[in-house]
């Protein structure tokens, strides 16, 4: 009788306050991730590293992140304690991120600024940062499945988290717009100082929201014994025998490729390919995330089921394909239209990311003792694939410099243009095709008792 009452309570919709507390828990990760993908390559090349060395730094971080997700996921499945892993990971992120953008500390200690020393130094701090990032991400993502069985509430939790991802990104670009606006970078020291302030302010903002999450969110294991039976752990082979696992993994990885690759090359594209003002490298991303935030909030009002998840993800993928074509063909004389394209990119990103994350919850269902492995393994594939994709693209960046030409008439097909336009559009196409083959079943799909928005 007590088990049935407990299961029924977990199938009920989650309250708005709990949704808010959970949603802000990934803010530190999100704001540092936005800085990582948007400005890391730009920062490293601006201070003198070659495109390949900059790509090596990013790849080292992505590999460390990918390996850490598997390790952390297994430990969480064995021992639980989501909030402890979340807090420890957040501390590591806050400590190491300032060193990634704070200048080469070992270079100053060794009095050597050779490219090898710089690359090793930045790669080391990038790896440490991504290990902490992985611990926070896996614990936060897998926690959803132990908070509730209700499929609509799970999507709402993912949607709220995605909405605050947009808040985090907007915070970063707001900070960047102010820093780039009030300071001029003429020397390497000036560049390092700019990004150091961006990093410090990002960490401060993120840590404030981590505190709110840790204070307001209850540990799911203390709420009920529903996740506490470590003797009933699910073997990895259980997931490997499910076709849906591979489908969800592919869709999730492709979605992350769309977001991360486009984010990494947007700043390069608006400055180098379109010849726009320096403020555009903060303004264009800000427009994207404002639109994503609005869409993510609106998605919280939808009563979700498998068919709607597929339909909304497909709509986002098709929208991104049109955006990719626009990016490939946009000449410098029409650069102002990049702001219009940014609106549709923001809408597409929200539709794809919310539904891709929610597909994980449908895959997990009630198999809660393997939820951290699922989140960790999918994140591993995401990190490795994104790292390799960016490494390959960035390796060819130096071999295709822009020749002198007229920005207003030329459509120069650079690696940046392909990275921002073609790669995300192709990934969206494949993701839509895979989504169409899925069979998604949504138990406990009771509608919300009251709207989330007043």
Look at residue 352 in the predicted model and tell me its pLDDT.
94
**Number of domains the chain contains:** 2
In the predicted model, what is the mean pLDDT of residues 258-267?
A: 88
369 domain-assigned: yes
For residue 453, pLDDT beyond 70: no
Give me the domain span that covers residue 345: 236-397+414-440
Confidence band, pLDDT 50/70/90 cuts, at residue 81: confident
Look at residue 435 in the predicted model and tell me its pLDDT.
93
213 domain-assigned: yes
As a whole number, the mean pLDDT across the chain is 81
Instruction: For residues 183 and 61, state if they share a domain.
Output: yes
Instruction: For residues 214 and 256, state if they share a domain.
Output: no
Query: Model pTM?
Result: 0.73
**Which two tokens mark 403?**
């020749």
Q: Which of the listed residues 191, 218, 245 is the one where a domain comes to its end?
A: 218
For residue 173, pLDDT beyond 90: no
Q: Which of the listed residues 173, 192, 218 is the one where a domain comes to its end?
A: 218
Condensed to tens digits (0 to 9), the pLDDT of residues 116-152 reads 888 888 899 999 999 999 999 888 888 877 777 777 7
In the predicted model, what is the mean pLDDT of residues 215-228?
A: 62
Instruction: For residues 191 and 312, state if they share a domain.
Output: no
CATH value at residue 213: 1.20.1250.20
126 domain-assigned: yes
Condensed to tens digits (0 to 9), the pLDDT of residues 309-328 reads 899 999 999 999 999 999 99
Condensed to tens digits (0 to 9), the pLDDT of residues 179-214 reads 888 877 778 888 888 888 999 999 999 999 999 999
Instruction: For residues 78 and 203, state if they share a domain.
Output: yes
Q: Which of 75-84, 148-157, 200-209, 282-291 has the lowest mean pLDDT?
A: 148-157
In the predicted model, what is the mean pLDDT of residues 55-81?
A: 85
For residue 330, pLDDT beyond 50: yes
- Region of residue 111 (phi > 0: left; psi between -120 and 50: alpha; otherwise: beta): left
8 domain-assigned: no
Look at residue 366 in the predicted model and tell me its pLDDT.
62
Instruction: For residues 251 and 208, state if they share a domain.
Output: no
For residue 57, pLDDT beyond 60: yes
- Considering the chain, what percentage of its residues have pLDDT values greater than 90? 26
């Amino acid at each position: 009788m007590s088990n049935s009452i407990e299961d029924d309570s977990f199938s009920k919709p989650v309250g708005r306050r709990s949704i808010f507390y959970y949603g802000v828990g990934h803010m530190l990760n999100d704001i540092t991730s936005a800085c990582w993908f948007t400005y890391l390559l730009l920062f490293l090349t601006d201070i003198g590293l070659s495109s390949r060395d900059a790509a090596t730094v990013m790849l080292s971080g992505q590999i460390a992140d990918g390996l850490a997700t598997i390790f952390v996921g297994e430990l969480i499945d064995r021992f639980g304690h989501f909030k402890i892993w979340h807090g420890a990971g957040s501390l590591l992120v806050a400590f190491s991120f300032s060193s990634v953008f704070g200048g080469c500390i070992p270079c100053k200690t060794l009095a050597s600024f050779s490219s090898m020393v710089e690359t090793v130094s930045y790669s080391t701090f990038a790896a440490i940062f991504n290990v902490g990032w992985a611990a926070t991400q896996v614990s936060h993502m897998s926690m959803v499945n132990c908070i509730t069985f209700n499929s609509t509430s799970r999507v709402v939790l993912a949607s709220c988290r995605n909405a605050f991802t947009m808040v985090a990104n907007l915070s970063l670009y707001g900070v960047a717009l102010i820093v780039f606006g009030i300071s001029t970078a003429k020397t390497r020291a000036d560049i390092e100082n700019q990004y150091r302030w961006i990093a410090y302010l990002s960490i401060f903002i993120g840590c404030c929201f981590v505190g709110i999450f840790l204070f307001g969110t209850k540990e799911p294991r203390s709420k009920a014994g529903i996740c506490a039976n470590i003797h009933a752990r699910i073997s990895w082979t259980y997931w490997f025998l499910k076709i849906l696992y591979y489908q969800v993994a592919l869709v999730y990885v492709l979605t992350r490729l769309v977001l991360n690759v486009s984010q990494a090359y947007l700043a390069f594209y608006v400055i180098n390919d379109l010849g726009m003002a320096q403020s555009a490298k903060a303004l264009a991303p800000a427009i994207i995330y404002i639109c994503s935030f609005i869409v993510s909030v609106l998605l919280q009002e939808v009563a979700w089921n498998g068919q709607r998840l597929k339909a909304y993800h497909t709509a986002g993928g098709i929208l991104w394909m049109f955006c990719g074509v626009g990016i490939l063909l946009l000449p410098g004389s029409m650069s102002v239209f990049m702001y219009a394209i940014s609106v549709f990119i923001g809408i597409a990103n929200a539709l794809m990311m919310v539904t891709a994350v929610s597909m994980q919850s449908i895959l997990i269902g009630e198999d809660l003792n393997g939820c951290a492995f699922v989140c960790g393994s999918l994140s591993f594939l995401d990190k490795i694939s994104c790292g390799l994709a960016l490494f390959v693209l960035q390796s060819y960046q130096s071999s295709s410099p822009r020749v002198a030409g007229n920005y207003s008439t030329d459509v120069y097909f650079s690696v940046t243009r392909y990275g921002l336009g073609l790669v995300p559009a192709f990934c969206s196409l494949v993701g839509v095709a895979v989504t169409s083959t899925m069979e998604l079943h949504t138990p406990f799909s009771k509608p919300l008792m009251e709207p989330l928005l007043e």
